[in-house]
Each structure stands twice: as C-alpha cells, then as structure tokens.
Structure 1
Amino acid sequence: MKIIPLITAVLVTAFLYALVFERDALLAFAQGTDSENVQTEDAKDSSEAGEEVEKAIRVVAIKSEAQQIDSAVVLRGQTEAARMVEVRAETSGQVISEPLRKGSFVNQGQLLCQLDPGTRDASLAEAQARLAEAKARVPETQARLDEAMARLDEAKINDNAASKLSQGGFASETRVASTQAAVRAAEASVAAAKSGLQTTGAGIQSAEAAIAAVEKDIERLQITAPFEGLLETDTSELGSLLQPGGLCATILQLDPIKVVGFVPETEVDRVEIGALASARLSGGREIQGRVTFLSRAADTTTRTFRVEINVANADLAIRDGQTAEIIIAADGAKAHLLPQSALTLNDDGDLGVRTVDENSKSKFVNLKLLRDTAEGVWVEGLPEQANVISIGQEYVIDGVPVDATYKEPDQ
C-alpha cells in the first residue's frame, strides 16, 4: 500500500523536472523534432542577436545647422539716479524760509533754505569802514615818503659839496661828517616812510579780505539747488537751526537715468563703450540706451566689472533702484540651437554633446553656452552641420557604433 504513493510522487517529480528544466526537449519530443537541432537554432539566433546588439546602439539624433545670432551679453542690474546730492549748510543760522516738500521738482539755482543773516550785515559794514580808513591813509603815507625822498636828495647834495670843498681845503672835516650824518638820517626817514606805506597797504588788503569773508558768509545764507531734479526729502523746517554740515535737502537727478549692471570677467571683452543696450524693468517696461561706462577695475569680492547705461527719462517715470534685466549688443556669432536635454558631461566634467560622426560612431564635442531661451540653448563649438544625439547620449562613449534615428529639431 505504501509503494503506490511513492511511485506516484516519483513520477510527478520527474514530470515537473522535465517541464521546467527540459522544456525545449519535451516540446521537440512532442512535435517529433530533434532536441539538439532546436538547441542549435536557439543558440544561433541568440548569437546573431548578441552580435546585432553589440554592433550598433539605437539613438535619436538631430541634424543641426549653425545659424547667425546676435550673441548679446545678458546681465541683471538696477536703475540708479544720474546724480544724488545731499545739500548741506556751510555756515550756521536759523532757517527763515518755508520748507519745500519731498517729491517737488526744483530747478538749478532755486532756493532751498534761507538762513537768518544775524549780525553779518554789521560785520560787513565794519569791514567796509576799515577798508575806507585804510585807503584814506594812503595819501598821507605817500606824502611822507615823498618828503623823506626829497630830504634824502638834499642831504646827498650837501654831502657831495662838503666832500669836494674838503678835498680843496675849503671845508672842515666836521662839516663833512655832519653832511654824511644828514644823509644817513634822510635814508632812515625814507625807510620809515616806505614801511608806513606798506603797513597802509596791508591794512587795505586785510580790510578787503574781511569784506570778502563776510560777503561769502552772507552768500552761504542762501542754500540753492546745484542742479535740477526731484527732492527726495523735505527741506529743513522753518525755525530749525542749521550748523555747518547740517542737511538742508537731498536732490535726485533722474533724467537721464543710469542702468547699472556687473559683467563677469569672461564676458567683459565683448562689451564696448557706445554699444546699444536695452533693459526690461520689473514692471515689464522696456527701455533702451547706450553703454557710457565700463569699469577698468574688478570688484574684489565678485570679480565683476561695473557697466553703466544712460537712458532718457524725460517723464521721470523710471525710479531709482528698480530691478532690470539688461541685454547689451555684441558682435554676432555662428551658433546651434539645441534642446537643453541634449547637453551632457564627459568624464572630465566638461559640458558638451555627443554627435554621430561620418562613420556612424559616437563622438563627444565640448561646447560653450551662449544663451538660454524658451526654445532651447544657443551653443558654439560645433561645425556648420552636426548630427547631435538627443536621446541615448548617456549610454554611449566615444567610438561606440550607433544606429541613429533622425528627427527635426522642433519635434
């Protein structure tokens, strides 16, 4: 009774073995064919398939052709007032003028703050009186000098005569000594008269300097706008006391306005003074101008160079400090427009694409990225015409045979 279940288990095991491990032979036996021929055919098919896979890897490629583009320099920056000045007092005084409110437009030379003159008018009158007094002394000191000069001439004549008479024995030595003393006394009088005249001249110059100083101080009582522009702050309030250096007002000049950006050192040689530039403000407004300044020294932190673009702003609608996307025109270049997905890196970390060469083999080409757009990326470094692998580039290396299926660039 126990042998039958055992035999049944052995038969079931043998059948399962044949079904799983000898399936081909079992099917061949059932179809009446030779199992060895079946295995041979299977091995042959497998070998041919392996050779086919090894021979070429299927990829998708794009037939790209170089196009002429305007390789503009793209930056981010902001608007900046052409001039911004904090107008400050140069003398002390109490403000006696009504204030102008911020946002007001002022012309060049317009009064911003008027200071109380105090005793400056009296000081000016005193200095003018000293000048008149000093000038009145000029005729008197000049007359003294003329008188001293005449006495000197007389003394010299007497001395000359006494000397000649003394040589002939007609005058005593005492007389000669007396005439010589008179000459020396006359010379001293002339020197004193000249000194008095110089003192009078110095007094005149001192009085004139005092007048100029007081007049200049009086001029500083009127604080005016150095150029036309907008008030960024209120002018000083009526009754406030300004000391030297005290702030009267802040003025902005917004016409023309500057758009300022910073060019990386890799792009600085492509920017030229006078180049046409455009900018798009954060609100969507587009403006145009020309490059007026390019720094010769790089920022020590960012290693970038400051560039300034002058833009007309007659309506003063562009404000100081608005964010702007800047595009500066540069020399055109030949470039390829490729999908961003076609870009890859080689083993050295270089950016580029894999192409299909004339022998239908994969080849890596280094590229330089010029511009990123919604349609794709503009790159240079490829020949005029190139077959760029867009799908499958990550599965091949240089020299690997590929079977490329081509599609249009916009597909």
Structure 2
Amino acid sequence: MPLNKSYLLAAGLAVVLVIWMMMGDEIPPEQPDRSLTTEASLFRVQYEDHAGQPMHRNVRATGHVSAERNVDVIAEVSGKVTSIRTQRGLPVKEGQLLLTIDERDLPARLKQAEATLKQVTIETRGSHDLFRKGLVNESEVINAEARLASAEASLTDIRRQLDATQIRAPFTGMFDQRYVELGEYVPAGEAVARVLDTDPMLVKGRIAEKDIADVAIGDKAYAILLNGNRVDGTIRYIAAGADSQTRSYDIEMAITDGIPQSGLFDGQTATLYVPQPDVMAYFLSPALLIMTADDQLGLKVLTEDDRVRVVPVTLLSAEDDGVWVYGPGEKMRLITIGQGFVSDGEQVEAVAKNTGKQ
C-alpha cells in the first residue's frame, strides 16, 4: 500500500501549509523607527538677511522726438512748377507762399466766368420783374435762377483752381521737404512739400502694460537724447488702448524746457523717463530670481515662522554683477540655497548664512 501512504503524506503537507498561511495574517507588521523628530524631517535652507535701500525709480520708454504735426502739402491742380519761393529748412508762417504752379488759362476763364455771372444776374432780375407783371410764368423764373446758380458755381470753382496754383504753408512751422523741382510737371493729388509744426516738439514712446497705472496726463517727465542732452516736459497724452501685438501703450511728452526748438529734430532717438516715488530696492544675483505662477519675476523668502513665501518683484536696473529689484518691502530673509526644492507656504528649517543659527 505504498501509494496510499504517499497520498496521505501529501494531504498532510497541504493541511499544514494552509494553517501556516492563515496564521501569517496574524503576524503583527513591522513598526517603523520613530526616532526621527518632526524638526529633523523639515527641509533645510540657507537664507540671508537683506535690508532695502531707497532708490529713485522711473517709468522708462524708448521713443523719438516728433513734431506736433507733420503734413504733406498736396497739389490740387495739375501743371508745371513755375517758381519756388522759400528754401527748405527755413521757418515759415501760416499762409506763406512756398511755390507756384502754372496758371495756364485759368485767369482768362476767370474773367469769362465773372462776365457770365453778371449777365445771368441781370437776366434773372429781369425774369423776376416780368413775373411780377404777369408776363412770364413761374418756370421761366426757376430756369433763370438755375442758370444763375450754375454761373456762381463755375466762378467759385475757377477761383479755387486759380488759388490752388499757389502752394502755401498750412500753418506756422518749418518748411521741411520739397518733393518737386522748378519746371517739373505735377499731377493733381501729388505731394509737393512737407511742413512741420514744431511748437511744441514732442517725445513719443510706448510704455509697458505693467507701468500704465503709474503714469498720468500732466505728470512731469524728461527725455535723454542719443547725444546725452536732456529735455524736460509734461505728459500730455496716454493711449486708452494697448497695441494688439505688444500690449504696450503710446505716450507723448510735450517739451517745455531744455534745448531750444531749433536744436531738436523730428525723428531723433530719445529715452523718455517719468519719475516715480522712491522704492526700497535690493541688489542681488539674477540667479535668485524665479518665475511666479502668473509669469512674473519673484523671490523666495522666509516669514518670521520659517515658512516659504513667494514675493513678486520688479526689475529696477541691471549692472554687470547683479540686478536691482523692488517689491519685498523694507527688509527680507532671502533664501539663497535650497530655494529650488521648497514651495510657497512650506515649513522649513532655516539656517542663516555663515552663522549656522536658525
């Protein structure tokens, strides 16, 4: 009966295995080592105490000098340029003659139109007299008045054309450019000259969206030209809407003091500054700057109870060995080592630089 014994042995081993597995659920789990303290589990960071320094701040915009107005004078009649009366680059008064265009037959047509108007005027009066006497009907009077109106319109048009042969300055300013030469044929609708209104001269630029709330119409401002000269003025215009591409706002300063108007030129490069109240600024390595959740510059600092706090900052200026920023206030505990491993609001173990003190 060896086969039966083998079956009995196998069955016994199976029962033992089942009992062992059932007992395994009752074995208490291994207890973790709780010798570490709560403080030891905190991430350690190093910080430095910083005190802000009062510094001047300006809203800055790159721009250029511009005339108040910049107007191309258009020829209203066709013809050859018969005379040039003023040189380019010279100041001109409103209405001053710049150049003339050939009058052609306009003077003769003017005399004819004047004579025609006189004739039609007499005829119209006669029609009214005859109508009052009952010798003509009302339609004759209406026809006479129509001829009179046509004659008046013809005379007005010829006078306008004749006047348009005299190209004059539209306002007091500077005769900046002449696009035609003596004897050149000019078609109607073509620009023949440019006149600049230089009183006042302006500095135009664009300011960033983040600065728009810091500037107001009437603010005192100044600009530095490319050659280092300074001009002072007042903000007179701020665009109500931003550029759709750059999200920046047009701004203008009217120049009131500095270089004489004659020493300023339309198109000169200039940097515009609008002074702001002093701020408490910090000089630090740009490597310590981070990008905040809303894509702004920021720093990670410590609160009094050693919690991480992200504070937004604004770039004030940059130098070869660091940057000036403002925003944290009068002082801060700046995390200098370990900032990349901790998050806003996290409790940390804080160690002061070079002291080992918490």
Tell whether the 8 Å contact from 2:292 to 2:312 is kept in structure 1 after alignment. Answer: no
Cα drift, residue 334 of structure 1 = 4.7
Match of 2:350 among 401, 404, 409: 401
Give % identity.
24
Paired residue type of 1:92: S
Match of 1:81 in 2: 67
Normalising by the residue count of structure 1, what TM-score does the alignment of the two structures yield? 0.65
Once residues 162 and 75 of structure 2 are traced to their aligned partners in structure 1, the CA distance between those partners, rounded to angstroms, is: 12
Query: Which residue of the partner structure matches residue 106 of structure 2?
Result: 120
Q: Would the aligned equivalents of 1:72 and 1:328 in 2 still touch at CA under 8 Å?
A: yes
Deviation, structure 1 residue 59: 5.2
In the alignment, what sits opposite 1:104?
Answer: 90
Maintained 8 Å contact 2:178/2:193 = yes
SS at match of 2:108: helix
- How far residue 288 of structure 1 moved from its aligned partner, in angstroms, is 1.5
Distance 1:346 1:77 in 2: 29
Output the amino acid matched with 2:272: I
Q: How many Å apart are 1:287 and its aligned residue?
A: 1.4
State the Cα distance separating 1:376 from its structure 2 match.
4.5
Change (3 A) 1:234 1:99: farther
Q: What are the equivalent positions in structure 2 for 1:159-308 lying under 5 Å apart?
A: 192-234=136-178, 236-308=180-252
Q: Which has the larger radius of gyration?
A: 1
Q: Distance in 2 between matches of 1:378 and 1:64?
A: 12
The CA deviation string for residues 183-231 of structure 1, in whole angstroms up to 9 with x for no partner, is: xxxxxx5xx3333233323222222222111111111111101123333
Counterpart Cα distance in 2 of 1:247 and 1:320: 19
Find the counterpart in structure 2 of residue 155 from structure 1. Answer: none
CA RMSD of aligned residues (A): 3.3
Cα displacement (A) at 1:255: 3.3
SS at match of 1:329: strand
Query: Relative to 1, partners in 2 of residues 1:252 and 1:381: Cα closer, same or farther, differing over 3 Å?
Result: same
Partner of 1:317: 263
Q: Is 2:312 the partner of 1:378?
A: no
Letter in 1 for 2:231: I
Task: Give the Å deviation of 1:355.
Answer: 4.1
Secondary structure in structure 2 of the residue aligned to 1:401: strand
Q: Hey, what does 1:345 align to over in structure 2? A: 290
Q: Take 2:167 and 2:179, find their aligned partners in 1: how far apart are those partners?
A: 10
Using a 3 Å threshold, how does the CA distance of structure 1 residues 122 and 357 change in structure 2: closer, same or farther?
A: closer
Is the 2:198–2:261 contact (alpha carbons within 8 Å) kept by the matching residues of 1?
Answer: no
Q: Which has a greater percent of strand?
A: 2
List gaps (5 residues or longer) in structure 2: 1-39
What is the one-letter code of the residue matched to 1:365?
V
CA distance in 1, matches of 2:163, 2:68: 28
What secondary structure sits across from 1:91 in the alignment?
Answer: coil
CA distance in 2, matches of 1:292, 1:107: 25
Q: Which amino acid aligns with 2:265?
A: R
In the TM superposition, residue 82 of structure 1 has moved relative to its aligned partner by 1.8
Counterpart Cα distance in 2 of 1:351 and 1:136: 85
TM-score (norm. length: structure 2): 0.73
Q: Is the 8 A contact 1:346 1:364 kept in 2?
A: no
Task: State the alpha-carbon separation in 1 of the partners of residues 97 and 126 from structure 2.
Answer: 47
Between Structure 1 and Structure 2, which shows a larger proportion of helix residues? Answer: 1
